[in-house]
Amino acid sequence: MAKLTSIACSTLPAALLALLLTGCGGTTIPPKLEVRDVSSGRTYTTYQPWGQVEKGIGYEFTDADTGKRITLTNYELKTLEAQKSVPGDSAEAKAFQQAKTRGGVQ
């Protein structure tokens, strides 16, 4: 019985540590990108993967802040935030879910 208790006491903390490191019900947020329209200087925010080529028109994507579809022919990309995992109830996870409902995430 003492051996069983020592195994449980050594395994339980390791399992809890693994659960904390991987997260429980967390949200993985893809890289957040800034797209700048070179001709006007206006910037938009989106997430990776960020859009698709519209043949003969340009590159089309959805702005994460407004949900509007944008098509650009001359643009610059900049990574604002790397991919990360956050708790499901955090402010970042809620902001990401709102962007998904607006259509800013594919």
* pLDDT score, position 38: 95
Q: Is the pLDDT of residue 1 over 60?
A: no
What would the pLDDT profile of 45-99 be if each residue is shown by its tens digit? 998 888 888 888 899 998 988 889 999 999 999 999 999 999 989 998 888 888 8
Nearest to 65 by CA among 106, 98, 88: 98
pTM equals: 0.66
Q: With contact defined as beta carbons under 8 Å apart, do 39 and 106 qualify?
A: no
Q: Compute the distance between CA of residue 74 and CA of residue 44 in angstroms, rounded to an integer.
A: 13
Q: Compute the distance between CA of residue 93 and CA of residue 69 in angstroms, rounded to an integer.
A: 23
